[in-house]
Structure 1
Amino acid sequence: MQTAKSQITRRKLLDAARKEFARHGIAGARVDRIAAASSVNKQRLYANFTNKEGLFSAVISDAYEDLTRQVPVPDTLEAARRYVGDIFDYHAKDRTLAHLIAWEGLYYGGQDFPDREARAAYYRDKCGTLNEALGRIGLTETAHLVLTLIAIATWPYVAEQQRALLAPEGEGSVSLRETLMRQGRAVVEATVAQAAQPQQSRPTAVESA
């Protein structure tokens, strides 16, 4: 059981490490800088997290927990329609999670990474709930829908240079958020409508190309 002091120490390390990893990635992050920024010595860091990879795993898990508290995976059709806007707003306020996701992908690729099964179980549970809310369109379709909505909302903050080039702030009367919200809603409606069609009447990949 952690003491209040140890919880404070862990929080300081997680907060400092989140900024360091978001800026430099796993390979480029430096334990010395994290220790200095948190005012916690390296021995305590290693005692809490074993190594740098263990610290990154704890940081990104903590970041996902924060995202889940503020923007839960949708469990109703209306929440699914709003999801892109909610995720976009979260990243607009704090870009660090989007950067952590990008660094994690570059470092681990599609291979095993720490806490993979715990994260997979979380999404299986949430996608199961959303699948029910959408009229049982299918777990695979629901998972693909969630992935698509996350991609629409998050990519502008993963590739900030593309956002700056394609959607510079202050240009035009329609905001990027409005556009992405509209596109997100369209994806939700199309997915639900497609799932409602009888199997034999659904277009094949060739027909829909």
Structure 2
Amino acid sequence: MPPDTARTRAKLLDAARAEFAEHGIAGARVDRIALRAGVNKERIYAYFGNKEQLFQHVLSESLQELTAVVTMSSDDPAEYVAQIYDFYCARPELLRLLLWEALYYGHEPIPDEDRRATSYAVKLQEFAEQLGVQPTPDVAQLLFSLIGVAAWQSTMPQMARIILGTETESEQAQARRREHLVEFTRQSIAAVKQPQA
């Protein structure tokens, strides 16, 4: 890809990420994306196709960033969940994109569902291996729940403020929430690993 083309695509993806995070798929406007990027809107159609395809490019790129930053390399699965929390605190726009996707598609399949299902199957296998158990439906539910808990505080800042108090954005408050999340994860994992009577 020529350097100019790569730069233009990058500008459009950055502008589209901001636009989609603010307005969702239905509310985003191609004109505003082009204006933010300083690029002719015809480039959007030439590089990405329609608005829904552009959204998928933006979301896919954001999920790849999450995968690159948040890894299950530690011996402590609670650290993996804490990394998810850290990522969403630093980059809440991915959560917004995922929420807009959920609202737009509802219970219908998403365009790249098979690829994402494969990616999460790998994560589930890694998570189960760290726990020393098989990747059962209960372990899948645990992973899903822990990801949700890690994301929830950045997803619902107003609820965090109402329940936890006004100092929810300070570094100390985020550190306390992270510490709580790690301990909660460890207790949840211990409950799953206990043999059933």
Task: Give the TM-score, by structure 1 length.
Answer: 0.83
Structure whose alpha-carbon radius of gyration is higher: 1
Is the counterpart of residue 119 in structure 1 residue 116 in structure 2?
Answer: yes
Partner of 1:14: 13
Structure 2 stretches of 5 or more lacking a match?
none
What is the alpha-carbon distance in structure 2 between the residues aligned to residue 141 and residue 185 of structure 1? 19
Structure 1 stretches of 5 or more lacking a match?
202-209
Partner of 2:52: 53
Structure 1 residue 184 displacement after superposition = 4.4
2:128 and 2:135 in contact (8 A); partners too = yes
Structure 1 residue 144 displacement after superposition = 1.6
Partner of 2:148: 151
Report 1:131-146 matches (<5 A): 131-146=128-143
Amino acid across the alignment from 1:17: A
Partner of 1:182: 180
What is the alpha-carbon distance in structure 2 between the residues aligned to residue 88 and residue 133 of structure 1? 19
Amino acid across the alignment from 1:60: L
- Show CA shifts across 1:65-97 (max 9, x none): 11111112x25551x212333222222222211
Partner of 1:165: 162
Structure 1 residue 110 displacement after superposition = 2.1
Structure 1 residue 181 displacement after superposition = 3.6
Is the counterpart of residue 97 in structure 1 residue 100 in structure 2?
Answer: no
Structure 1 residue 5 displacement after superposition = 2.1
What is the alpha-carbon distance in structure 2 between the residues aligned to residue 118 and residue 28 of structure 1? 26
Partner of 1:204: none
Aligned residues: 195
Is the counterpart of residue 106 in structure 1 residue 103 in structure 2?
Answer: yes
1:85 and 1:177 in contact (8 A); partners too = no
Structure 1 residue 99 displacement after superposition = 0.8
Amino acid across the alignment from 2:36: A
Task: Give the TM-score, by structure 2 length.
Answer: 0.88
Secondary structure, counterpart of 2:63 in structure 1: helix
C-alpha RMSD of the superposition: 2.2
